[in-house]
Structure 1
């Protein structure tokens, strides 16, 4: 099992602050595809959805806020 890494949590915070993968990537200094890929992996690692995904964008779930 993969452990949660501090860098993944920093991306989670950048995503929450930026609101989009593209903006989170700019804030974190990585590509938007890296943000998406690593947050997907983080959700698999912790076994819970951290974002609600919809046509209007992404919102942190309660679990995402706690993280």
Structure 2
């Protein structure tokens, strides 16, 4: 379902032991339509809404001083 959406680059299941989550990598211009479509698809398939978080990648941990 997710990888068929425009702008989707990849997806991975994470945190399966705590209810499960999916980490999706999406091109920035496609992010909002991707989220909206995912919410719609999830509600139709499972009958309740999901919780989605939009994040951006960074350089990670580094020494600042």
What TM-score bracket applies, with the shorter chain setting the length? 0.3 to 0.5
TM-score, L = length of structure 2: 0.36
Higher RCO (C-alpha under 8 Å, 6+ residues apart): 1
TM-score, L = length of structure 1: 0.35
